[in-house]
Every structure is written in structure tokens, then in C-alpha cells.
Chain A
């Protein structure tokens, strides 16, 4: 509940205009939303925001403006669409204000509701996700098309089917040509480990995290949630394995809040638990220097820093080096919070793309490979490598792909 003292002063005079008061009331009704009122204006959020320098209203200033009853100024600010949901702000905030999830998301909800709309690239991603269940506008029927090239049998769980592990492949892993290589690599690892697994195939839709939770399209999230929760409910499984940290986050946080509790693990966690077996099964040395990029949704947001590193260290001869900004300090790839669809919008206002900064950091470690555990990072960093003139010096590889190579499973792809 929003304390009335924030809305009226000691004499009972209203201190906030209706729009701002209504906005604060709505935020306070959301889970952990009331923490916004505890902001001490220390500015930590704004200092750690990788794009704070380009914002007219940094998170701290946004909260300050709300307290001054100036929500209309925020509605006019481009800063609302600059947030990449990296969670540096919330992670560092001494009182844990959920800035991307509640403040930014609620402002975006208002822009959508007031007809201001969203930047066109993101609008297209929303429309496609609503219509096709993926942001690429691909046919939902072709979601499992990658299985034909997998070289192994990938079971598709139909209604009533069961498996130990339900593997949530995700949109990038299912449709993006480059990510499909890593999806196939993971399928082969699961098969090699004799995991009893299956996928939803054409019945899977976007988990909803990427285009929704911090992006203001709550109706779209609800629509996807209901579809996915219903489909999951029609299969029997013990746990859910996800390839995309955003889906991991959605299942872990939002699905749970809505009443669908899943035992869910990111694939790096699932495989790290089998590190001893993987080590035993390794067949190939990969004598290369690798640096690992912590995905925001896996790391800062869900506290998993070690599993991907444990996996990389199962590979014989591989040398893991760290970038100066690693683990909770990792720099975002710039693709979260819908920003994957806002690259040109953000570039016009910042001119220094985050993925370019990150691949340069990776190159400075002397690593040959930038290992990642989030499918978005493959295309984002590969593009950044080309733009930075690092082509031929640095490669981006999914951890699963490197593990599959070590296991000698990549033949024929």
C-alpha cells in the first residue's frame, strides 16, 4: 500500500498531482513495488547504469521527479526506452528498489496505455510475439524444425507424454540459424548423458520474459503465460531445463508468482551437476584461452556465476581467463529489457553500443573465445566483433557448444 503521507502533507494538502499519485499507488500494489518509496536518493543506480550517461532522467532522477509530482516529464523522456534491464541498479541499490521490473516497466505500461506506443522495432517484436509466439515472425509450426538437423532423435512431448526433463528450447534456440548449432550441441550432450528429455515443439511459445516483464506489455505476458502454463500442465516431467536465461528468469520469478511453480534450471546448472561425468567423457583437448561473459539474467538477476565456469573447466586444456568486469560486475550485452529490438533507438542516443565495449574488454584479456550462456549474446557479440575489427581474433561460442566439442559430439553439424 502507498502511504497517504506521500500523497498529502501534514495539513492534508495534496502534494502530488492525480497522475503521479495514481502511478505510485499502482506501483505499490505490485510485488515489492512499495520499495520504490524507500529510495534514499543515493544515486548508486544511476552511477552503475551502463547507459545512465545518456539518460536525461536516470533512475534516481526518475524517482525524484515522481516525488515532485512530475510524472509527465518522465513520459516525455527517452530514458524509459534506454533501460537494458541489466539489473545493475537493483543489484547495487541499498534498499533493493526493483527499478527495471517495477519503475521502468510501469512507465512503459503507461506509454502503451496512453497510446504513445513503443519504438517501432519493439512494436514489431511485440506484434510478432503475440501472433506467432516468437519475436521473429516465424511460423509456430516450424519451432521444432531444427530437430531434423540434430543428427539424433529429439523427442517431442505431446499432450499426456512424460519425460524426466522438459527442455524449454526458447525462441532464439529454436529459430535463429546461428543459435540452432548450440541447440543441437546441447541436444547431443543430453543424449550422451542419457538424460530422459523431451521438448514441447510447436506447442512452445515465447516464455514472455524477453519482450514483456520489464517492457510494459503485461497483457502480452499474460497471454503467453496462460498458453505456456496450459501446455506445461498437459505433460508430465520432473524438472524444466532452459537454454535461455530470460526464460529461466520468467519461470523462476513471474510464473511462480502467477501460480505455476516449476523446478527449473538453466542448462549450465543442469550440466555443472554432472561435471564429473562430463570430465570423464571428454575426448578432445581444446587448447584455447577463453573468457566467460556473465549473462545478466543468469548472474546478477539469479545469482548463478559458477555453473558456466565449472562447465568450461571440464574441457581438457582449456584456459579460463577473466575480464576485469566479471560476475556481478559484468557489463551487459545490451540486449535485455527489449533492447535487443531497440538497437538503433539506443545507438542514436548513446553512440557507444554495449556489446562493442564488451567484446573489446574480452579481446584485451588475450582470449581467443568469448564464451556465453545466453543465446542473444551470440548474434549480438558476433555483430560487435565485426564492427570492432576483431573478426578473426575473437570468436563467440556458447558454453554448450564448447562442451559438445570436448565430448567429440560436433561431427556432422
Chain B
């Protein structure tokens, strides 16, 4: 079984997000990147599948140079191949464009399963997995919390949690594209020395070339969220804030 996992680099919100002078984008120099959380889970899911049956896993690292580090971490965790897909800063988050760019390479490699996070922190439009499925004319299901593939490789059984506490068990014909909500277990740890070793030794392929020009969505303005008029901000020292919380809880009859 051949599995591809798409790992996108998204802005890390631990650092303050600074809006660029154009008022429509983030200031590139101020952004630090982190692998999209859902994609980390997709990687874990792929590695779990690999532990259960014979499979090769290809990690597809999307973004700037930081994606190379994410690929090294993925190799340290156990993926077999690494493919770097550079995406210029101005096109990140545009999943229509990214799906059109990735589709031919994914199609020619003949993967049985393509996994990625169901959602990305910086996405402007629809989820990448669904758009990719359209390009590849493959089935898609997203929001998954587990994936089991048949040894014959023609079918996968996935679990999807619906709102209202209902769990769906769904059969999907392979090949397919899956949007992962969370893996069956938390993403595993790769020790720093293993990651460093992977950086030195991994053979990384690269999908070069410009991204196709897809008419999609355009950001006209980016600004700080407006604070809701009803929000009450508690400020001052710890005692004062604690008193405030207790007062509010009492007023609402919670305590």
C-alpha cells in the first residue's frame, strides 16, 4: 500500500501575527511556522497504518524552507520518502491553487491513500483534501478519527464523528483522499538526535515549478478581530480578577 501525507506549514500563533503594510497579508518576516496540527495527526495515522500492514509512506512537505524541517521530523518518525513542495508566501493558504499544483504529482505516483488534516490554520477556501479528491476524481471523506485499510488494498473503513454524539463507520473505495481530524493516538515523538540525523541523511525530492494560476479567493483586508461589545475584560491583580470571576459566577447562578 502506498500512502501520501501532506504536511503544510502554517503561521505559529504563539508569536504575535503582524499585519503587513499592504493591510491584506501577514508580515512575512514576522511569521514563524509550525506544521498544521491536523496534518500532524494525518502523519500519525499514516504511521499507524504502516505499523499494521506493509506500506510505504511519503511525506509531502508544503510551504517555505521550514517544510524541510517538517520532512526531517517525518523521516525521523518513520516515513519512507520525502517530497518538498515549495509554495511562495503569497500563495499559502489558497487550497484551490495548491490542490491543482499537487494533483498531477500525486496522480502519477499512484497512491492508494492520500491523508491530510481536514482543516488548516491558514486556509482561505475549502479543505485541501476535498479539492484534491476532485482533481483526482477520487472519493473523499473528512473529519476522521480512525482509518483501517483492507490488506487487499481496495477498501478502507473509517470513523467519522458527527455533531450530536453520533459516530459513523464508513467504507471508502481506494484509492481515496481522507481528511483527518485526529489520529487514533497522539502524534509520536521523534527525538532531536533522530531529527538531526534525518536532516543530514534524508534523500528529499522536490516538486519544483510555479503554482498554476487558479482564480480563487482574494483577501481584501486583514485586521485584528473586533472585540464583542458584550465581552467584559477583567483586569488588575490576581485577587481582583478572582473576585470578578466569583462575582460573575454568582450572578449567573453557577455557584
**Which A positions have Cβ atoms within 8 angstroms of B?**
112-113, 115, 117-118, 120, 123, 126-127, 130-132, 137-139, 141, 217-220, 222-223
Contact = CB atoms under 8 A, between A and B. Distances in A.
Nearest to A120: B186
Contact of B192 (A132, A137, A220): A220
Nearest to B197: A219
B194 interface: yes
A117 B190 CA distance: 8
Contacts of B14: 132, 137-139
B123 interface: no
By Cβ-Cβ distance, the 5 closest A-B pairs, closest first, are: A219-B193, A219-B192, A220-B192, A112-B191, A123-B189
Given A112-B189, A217-B192, A222-B192, 8 more contacts: A123-B186, A130-B192, A139-B16, A217-B191, A219-B193, A219-B194, A220-B191, A223-B192
A14 to B, nearest CB: 29
Given A132-B14, A137-B14, A139-B15, A113 B194 contact: yes
A217 B190 CA distance: 10
A373 B16 CA distance: 33
A117 B188 contact: yes
A189 to B, nearest CB: 22
B189 A126 contact: yes
Contact of B15 (A123, A141, A218): A141
Contacts of A222: 192-193
20 contacts: A112-B191, A112-B194, A113-B194, A118-B189, A120-B186, A123-B186, A130-B192, A131-B34, A132-B14, A137-B14, A138-B14, A139-B15, A141-B15, A217-B192, A218-B193, A219-B192, A219-B194, A219-B195, A222-B192, A222-B193
Interface in B173-200: 186, 188-189, 191-196
A228 to B, nearest CB: 15
A192 B195 CA distance: 46
Contacts of A138: 14
Contact of B196 (A118, A131, A137, A219): A219
B189 A117 contact: yes
A222 B192 CA distance: 9
Most chain B CB atoms below 10 A, which of A117, A120, A127, A219:
A219
Interface majority SS (helix, strand, loop, mixed), chain A: helix
A139 B31 CA distance: 12
Interface in B2-23: 14-16
A132 B15 CA distance: 10
A218 B191 CA distance: 9
Nearest to B12: A131
Contacts of A117: 188-189
A382 B203 CA distance: 51
A131 B69 CA distance: 11
Interface in B209-248: none
B72 to A, nearest CB: 12
A120 to B, nearest CB: 6
Contacts of B189: 112, 117-118, 123, 126-127
A123 B40 CA distance: 15
Interface in B112-145: none
Nearest to B14: A139
Contacts of A141: 15
Contacts of A131: 34
Nearest to B185: A120
Nearest to B195: A219
Nearest to B15: A139
A136 to B, nearest CB: 10
B35 to A, nearest CB: 10
B29 to A, nearest CB: 13
A138 B12 CA distance: 11
B202 to A, nearest CB: 16
A120 B185 CA distance: 11
Contacts of A112: 189, 191, 194
A217 B191 CA distance: 7
Nearest to A130: B192
A208 to B, nearest CB: 11
Contacts of B15: 139, 141
A220 B186 CA distance: 21
A124 to B, nearest CB: 9
B183 to A, nearest CB: 13
A300 B188 CA distance: 35
Contacts of B191: 112-113, 217, 219-220
Contacts of B196: 219, 223
Contacts of A120: 186
A118 B192 CA distance: 13
A115 B189 CA distance: 8
Contacts of A217: 191-192
A219 B192 CA distance: 5
Contact of A115 (B186, B188, B192, B195): B188
